[in-house]
Amino acid sequence: MGGVLDLRPVAPAAIVAVTGLVVLLAQAFSPKGKQPPSAALSLAGLAAAFAAVWLLATGSARGSVMAGALAADDLSLFLHALVLGVAAISVLLSPSYLRANGMERGEYYALLLFSVVGMLGLVSSLELVSIFVALEIMSIALYGMAGMDRRRVESQEAALKYFVTGAFASAFFLYGIALLYGASGSTSLDKVARAMAVTSGETSTLAVLGAAMLLVGFGFKVASVPFHMWVPDVYEGAPTTATAFMAAGVKAAAFGALLRVFDSALPALASQWRPLVAGLAIATMVVGNLAALAQSNLKRMLAYSAVAHAGYLLTALVAAPILAGEAMLFYLVAYAAVNLGAFGAIAALSRDGREPLSLRDVAGLAERRPALAAALALFLVSLTGIPVTAGFVGKFYLFGAAVSAGWVVLALVGVIMSVVSAYYYLRVVVAMYMREPVGEDDWSPVSPASAVALSVSAALTLLLGVWPAPVLTLARVAARSLTF
């Protein structure tokens, strides 16, 4: 069905896009001073999109292709479900946070939904230009979300820095597409793969340069070193719920596209790009963790933590496609649950533009908010990679994939850096449980919607740590889509 215009693969993205328009119109036509039910509308649209994903996965449309550009294969459907889940939890976390910070506007939810449209297109694209268009749809909406708090200079700075670095990433990505087109005569991933299998001489050099440019473009999006400098300022300046969405959603979408491009279209050049990926992985793990050690602001600490985790994910990319895909996809699920929970716990306490962003702010939290402190401790322990959590199982499979490909040094660096990370994660736990509270408890009570979101994240973190088999099985099936 490659040449037939089959619109079924685009159904989930179309539903989310229409929902975004409905949310915008509801905001525009609501009486002054009255807020429309933007969060409820967003959740309804995301639920309908998830139903469409379920129908695609269980019906005859599974594996269908829209004119060679978008696919409804197992990989895209797995990542569709993940992105929609991330968006739903982000929406649940948002209403109380936006009210507490005077940002309760429908366009926030519209931008989130439009960003989801880009993410869904990114993980299902089979053609380089389509990937670029999806990348831009996702990014432009995120620039707006980062600058949503117009009263704070830090938020405006975050949006500007994100935009400028995003423009650089787009330029590198487009150059990479142009070079690969010159080497293969096509931008379709399967045709690029066939052309790369028979390239030699100057054409091969052109293809390697193109692959390197694409790696730089993806490097900006996944926040790998040395393309990570925007991350701490953007994560700190953006609204915390937007940061949570970016940390989980962008990584899922960008790594999904990275997997498809490099393991599906460029396996013939693996001997050239795998050493580059290994170097990026080592630099990212080391720089991310060492920089996080010096942070006193919790959001900046989690930002550098996100950089380090991009390095952990890159360690698996050097393995065989199916093994790399299985390990990375499982870890993306675990990472999404843990990061949404960690940032969500900070956002849930926000009041009057203030958030608990220092160790002093969370000192004695276990005494005042025992359930929330226990959840945040669980998320931080999982990020460290301690057993019986999703983070431990995820790292085990990531490093195992690297070892299976003969890259033992990558796994060794990853283990050492995980030990280093225990210092900055666990000092927050120590502050919550072993220090006396400072000042009055003037943080906001946790809203019911936020409590549901945090409970789901905590349950997933524990469940994936003790019973990872169902998600691993789905990830293994999805990874089989990486080979044409």
pLDDT in tens, 107-119: 899 999 999 999 9
Q: Over the stretch 4-26, which tens digit does the pLDDT of each residue have? A: 467 788 899 999 999 999 999 99
Q: What does the domain layout of the chain look like in residue ranges?
A: 12-482
What is this structure's pTM? 0.94
Q: Over the stretch 206-222, which tens digit does the pLDDT of each residue have? A: 899 999 999 999 999 99
CA distance 36 to 26: 6
CA distance 222 to 200: 31
Q: What is the pLDDT of residue 62?
A: 66
Q: Over the stretch 301-316, which tens digit does the pLDDT of each residue have? A: 999 999 999 999 999 9
Q: What is the largest CA-CA distance in the chain?
A: 70
Is the predicted pLDDT of residue 418 greater than 70, yes or no? yes
Is the predicted pLDDT of residue 3 greater than 50, yes or no? no
Q: What is the pLDDT of residue 63?
A: 65
